[in-house]
Amino acid sequence: MGRRLAYMLVALIGFSIGVILYIIGVFLIPFLIEILPQLEITFTEYRYVLGALASGFIGSIIAVIIAYIWASRSEF
């Protein structure tokens, strides 16, 4: 693969990412603006849902840190 073809491939990937981000911005952001007040009501009414989400997020961070430490200490 030549340098010109590699640049064209990178440009095509960048263009595709830009189009996808534009579509997400046009369609998803108004949807999120509409649904966020409903999520706020859900989180204030059912505090255990917010607690479960926070615990899951913290657990995923801890799992990634443990996997990173394990991978960096293992020998190939």
Q: What is the pLDDT of residues 61-71, one digit of tens each?
A: 999 999 989 88
Q: How far apart are CA 21 and CA 67, in angstroms?
A: 31
Q: DSSP secondary-structure letter at 57? A: H
Stated pTM of the model: 0.48
Q: Is the pLDDT of residue 38 over 80?
A: yes
Tens digits of per-residue pLDDT, 43-58?
788 888 888 988 999 9
Least-confidence region, from 5-14, 35-44, 55-64 = 35-44
**What CA–CA distance (Å, rounded) separates 8 from 1?**
11
Domain boundaries, the chain: 1-36, 46-76
Share of the chain above pLDDT 70, in %: 96
CA 56, 62, 68, 73 dihedral sign is negative
Distances (CA, A) of 47 to 25, 37, 39, 44: 30, 15, 12, 6
